[in-house]
Amino acid sequence: ALLCLAPPTAAALSRGNDVMVQIASRNEYDKTIAETEAAYMKILESSQTLLNVLKRETVNLVKKKQTSS
């Protein structure tokens, strides 16, 4: 026996389209979040590097000041 399916209604097509738009939006949000997290990690690494340099230079300045006194 053949099964005859009725063509989808306009409402069903619209709902399907809405779901696809939601999925695309979610994927775009996920991509933006991932890019933002990567940028944050780079900033964090740079901040740590800068802090380490400042600590090292502070120690060097203190030593230099102590030897010149």
pLDDT of residue 1: 58
Grouping H, G, I as helix, E, B as strand and the rest as coil, residue 68 is helix
35-52 burial code (b ≥16 CB/10 A, e <16):
eeeeeeeeeeeeeeeeee
Higher pLDDT, 69 or 47: 47
SS (H, E, C) 23-55: HHHHHHHHHHHHHHHHHHHHHHHHHHHHHHHHH
pTM (predicted TM-score): 0.65
13-60 tens-digit pLDDT: 888 899 999 999 999 999 999 999 999 999 999 999 999 999 999 999
